[in-house]
A and B are shown apart, each in its own frame.
Chain A
């Protein structure tokens, strides 16, 4: 066995089998339980990821301002952005790093489920090399693959639909529709593309895997709700505007102030100590806050 199999796959498989035994020989319940447990173990990372991405989304209007202001000076733009991230306590790479840390766990869980399901006879033979010398493991196998009148080794249409619905819900809650019509179009497309794609995949693979996807999405929806509420579900998408239309938008300074203040109020960063003096505070925004009087674009519009 290679280190990946020895350190990651083998323990997960054996835990899954033992859990199946203690959950009334029900592999479906074992999949759900292990998905929830793994999510709980990675709760801190997941919450950090959700909060970071929310903070990043909330900073988008200010980033747009900076882009307007320093569009031609890339170096200055980059410096200003980094300064803003630092002030806000947002780590742009943090979100990606968290996902990278979580990825092996999800891959291991997926592989463990597929191996333990042993859909084909070759699968059962392969499974034998991962087993610990625990009598309980040997007495349970091959696992009972029936769950709520489903054969977890066969694709299932209802579970495939559930995969799509729960994934859409999770994405919808976490997404912010950008004001830029093109970006909004892309976001909308991804919002539908991923759930549809996974639903199709679920139709092609054992429903045990689909059950894992559904359980995982449901847990993520709950966590997302805890941090952002219904998020994108309740939020009204802004009316799509083209670039040419944007040039003639009437600027409302009070509205902008409100929105930027709200951004600061919403940001909750888990890996930044709130007691830190240099942490981002809405009241300290004067240096970087959008100032209508000094806005060149505004002047151009007046002309």
Chain B
């Protein structure tokens, strides 16, 4: 082949590479292709634990802001090319995180802190050194974990993408029991006494015996259940994909009332002074009477709310998916915009000592003084910073 011929062949190859690059860029335009994670924070003894978007457990001493990072979670081997597999945080596709996505908020039990990763593993760390104490399962990987862990009386509970509810020994990571539901579980379980409550994609809310995982009762909604149940005063409040917020009797799962929104109830609601504040993906917060479900009022926040609100005294703090943070004075009904971080907020808000901590998508932990409304300096969760 002469020089001209080679040049022509080169042009064809160049064209192919160009098409490939444009295609990859085009695919990136669809948001939500790769898992990123939205872990919230958990405070214990003045230290905040959070799963970073690098796929690491980070501990922050709230007194001096010193930080410590755990070992990065190990990704599952990639079935796809270009690091775009849904199995991990991807690499360069659709704003993926650089490590394993962590969705669940860490939980602390004694001297151990636990997180579950999208790589299908559960990790136990020492709270002071962040050294790994145990991993479950030890060898292989389960299906991804999107829901968070629940620690209670020396046991850990979690639901997985494989539709199973797992109960582990918190000290050793040994499996105690498993319960199979009909579809994926993305919600975090809740516990009341000896009963564990967890929702599933199979449209059911399950009440399980926390001791052995036996089924006590189940409630079937018209849509999938992803939200975390709120148990208060013998009543379970749970949102569903059928756009209803349900109130169920905790004893037998019978329906007390239900109230409809205009989109999914994704986030867990909160209760202040006998009023349930239920954030919805339609951009409204519905204020409902806990006794009857009658609507007191609704607050338009102009953007979907997927993060669990935080309660400080009688004030409720909401964050929209667009990054705007509002405070609602429940006594007066006055709503104020506190900050606009211009970053996606999907994870739950954390309150400690009057400060609200918000994990934003730019790998920062934003802080707002809930009393004065002042925005404090953010803390970076990136290990290289």
Contact = CB atoms under 8 A, between A and B. Distances in A.
Q: Do A and B bind each other?
A: yes
Contact of B5 (A131, A185, A194): A185
**Shortest beta-carbon contacts, A-B, top 5:** A123-B32, A120-B35, A122-B32, A204-B81, A204-B80
A118 B264 CA distance: 15
Given A114-B27, A139-B222, A186-B12, 12 more contacts: A120-B32, A122-B38, A122-B346, A128-B263, A138-B222, A138-B243, A139-B242, A141-B241, A142-B224, A185-B9, A193-B16, A204-B85
Nearest to B35: A120
Interface of B: 4-5, 8-9, 12-13, 16, 19-20, 23-24, 26-27, 29-36, 38, 79-82, 84-86, 101, 103, 146, 184, 186, 201, 222-224, 226, 241-243, 262-264, 266, 281, 304, 306, 321, 346
Interface string A104-117: 00010001001100
Given A121-B35, A121-B186, A190 B23 contact: no
Contacts of B146: 121
Contacts of A194: 16, 19
Contacts of B79: 154-155
29 contacts: A111-B30, A119-B34, A120-B32, A120-B36, A121-B146, A121-B186, A122-B36, A123-B32, A125-B32, A125-B266, A128-B263, A133-B262, A138-B222, A138-B223, A138-B243, A139-B222, A142-B184, A142-B201, A154-B85, A182-B5, A186-B8, A186-B12, A190-B16, A194-B19, A197-B19, A197-B20, A203-B80, A205-B27, A205-B84
A194 B16 CA distance: 7
Contacts of B222: 138-139
B189 to A, nearest CB: 17
Kindly name the residue among B9, B29, B81, B263 whose own CB sees the greatest number of chain A CB atoms within 10 A. Answer: B81
Given A107-B26, A185-B8, A189-B9, A119 B241 contact: no
Identify whether the interface residues of A are mostly helix, strand, loop, or mixed: helix
Interface of A: 107, 111, 114-115, 118-129, 131, 133, 135, 138-139, 141-142, 153-155, 182, 185-186, 189-190, 193-194, 197, 200-201, 203-206
Contacts of B264: 128, 138
Contacts of A205: 27, 80, 84
A189 to B, nearest CB: 5
B38 to A, nearest CB: 8
Contacts of B4: 182
B31 A123 contact: yes
Contact of A122 (B16, B31, B81, B263): B31
Contacts of A153: 86
A131 B36 CA distance: 23
B115 to A, nearest CB: 16
Contacts, number: 117
B86 A206 contact: yes
A103 to B, nearest CB: 11
Contacts of A203: 80-81
A126 B32 contact: yes
B35 A122 contact: yes
A229 to B, nearest CB: 27
B208 to A, nearest CB: 23
Contacts of B226: 124
A208 to B, nearest CB: 11
A193 B263 contact: no
Contacts of A142: 184, 201, 224, 241
Given A138-B243, A204-B84, A205-B27, A123 B33 contact: yes
Residue in B79, B80, B184, B201 with the greatest tally of chain A CB atoms within 10 Å = B80
Contacts of A122: 31-32, 35-36, 38, 346
Nearest to A119: B86
A204 B54 CA distance: 22
A141 B85 CA distance: 22
Contacts of A189: 9, 12-13
A147 B274 CA distance: 47
B346 A125 contact: yes
Contacts of A126: 31-32
A201 B86 contact: no
Contacts of B281: 125, 128-129
A206 B85 CA distance: 8
A193 B86 contact: no
Contacts of B30: 111, 114-115
B205 to A, nearest CB: 16
B185 to A, nearest CB: 12
- The residue in A107, A119, A122, A142 that gathers the most chain B C-beta atoms within 10 A of its C-beta is A122
A120 B12 contact: no
Contacts of B262: 133
Nearest to A112: B30
Nearest to B20: A197
Given A139-B223, A182-B8, A197-B19, A118 B81 contact: no
A75 B86 CA distance: 56
Contacts of B81: 200, 203-204
Contact of A197 (B16, B29, B101, B201): B16
A121 B321 contact: no
B230 to A, nearest CB: 20
A204 B82 contact: yes
B32 A124 contact: yes
Contacts of B82: 204
Nearest to A157: B79
A121 B103 contact: yes
A203 B84 CA distance: 10
Contacts of A206: 86
B243 to A, nearest CB: 6
A291 to B, nearest CB: 32
A121 B97 CA distance: 13
Contacts of A155: 79-80, 85
Given A139-B222, A200-B81, A201-B23, A131 B263 contact: yes
Nearest to B4: A182
Contact of A128 (B12, B85, B86, B304): B304
A115 B9 CA distance: 37
